[in-house]
Amino acid sequence: MQAQLAIKQSRLKQMLALLVFGIVGGMASMPCLCIEGEIAGRYKTILFLLVFSRLAWCIYRRTFRFRDYFIYFAVVIGFCIWADLHFD
């Protein structure tokens, strides 16, 4: 089954969106300076790297959609906030 091509968008806009995701998501997934924060930080970093890789792959394959981008962004930030509140 082949992926459908998304609406043609500027590659520059997609790369800037990935850069913003990398900066904001990377800062949100940093661990706290405590034992529980280190454990939560590992899970947050793994999720961030998986989503970042998925978005980069979508840009490479030209199937990037901003709808998916915003959903992934909300999931990563929401998980990071939940993990910080739950493990601290």
Band (pLDDT 50/70/90 cuts) for residue 60 is: very high
Distances (CA, A) of 73 to 9, 24, 33, 66, 69: 19, 9, 24, 10, 6
Band (pLDDT 50/70/90 cuts) for residue 88 is: low
The more confidently predicted of residues 32 and 29 is: 29
| pLDDT at residue 49 greater than cutoff 90 | yes
Average pLDDT along the chain = 87
Is residue 47 a contact partner of residue 58, using CB atoms and an 8 Å limit?
Answer: no
Model confidence pLDDT, tens digit, residues 2-19: 666 555 668 999 999 999
> Is pTM, for the whole model, over 0.85?
no
Q: Where are the domains of the chain?
A: 11-87
Choose among 82, 19, 15, 12: nearest CA to 47.
82
